[in-house]
């Protein structure tokens, strides 16, 4: 086995480990957020776009939302991936200018998440999702 092949194998392994660590961190963050209080939020902006990967293309819906905790205004962002433009566009049309439940960290209200289980109504209307 040449040194070049060994190095590329180590690089691929490092990339895979980094992806797994990021996915694990996101999973832990969502799990912790389930116990956070809920504030009523509002979708301020919603759009979708196409992204191209090496071997596939997918579509991303981006939401910007706002919420109020203790009389203070906060904002956050949410991203969801889809395998078709139609699914991404349908999701955006459903959530645009709608109220959403926002989970926020009571110790640090600037930290917030929109959880899939809190958005069942929207998720059911655009169920086609790609894990990205």
User: How confident is residue 130, by pLDDT bands cut at 50, 70 and 90?
Assistant: very low
Of residues 57 and 72, the one with the higher pLDDT is 72
31 has pLDDT over 90: no
Q: How high is the pLDDT of residue 15?
A: 67
Rounded Cα distance, 8 and 46, in Å: 40
Weakest mean pLDDT among 19-23, 49-53, 64-68, 109-113: 19-23
Q: Among positive and negative, which fits the CA dihedral 44, 74, 110, 37?
A: negative
Q: What is the pTM for the complete model shown?
A: 0.71
């Amino acid at each position: 086995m040449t040194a070049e092949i060994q190095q590329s194998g180590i690089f691929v392994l490092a990339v895979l480990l980094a992806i797994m660590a990021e996915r694990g961190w996101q999973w832990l963050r969502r799990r912790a957020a389930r116990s956070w209080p809920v504030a009523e939020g509002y979708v301020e902006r919603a759009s979708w776009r196409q992204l191209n990967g090496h071997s596939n293309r997918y579509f991303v819906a981006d939401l910007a939302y706002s919420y109020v905790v203790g009389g203070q205004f906060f904002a956050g962002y949410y991203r969801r991936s889809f395998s078709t433009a139609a699914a991404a566009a349908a999701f955006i049309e459903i959530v645009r200018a709608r109220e959403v439940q926002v989970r926020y960290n009571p110790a640090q209200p600037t930290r917030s998440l929109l959880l899939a289980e809190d958005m069942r109504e929207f998720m059911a209307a655009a169920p086609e999702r790609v894990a990205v």
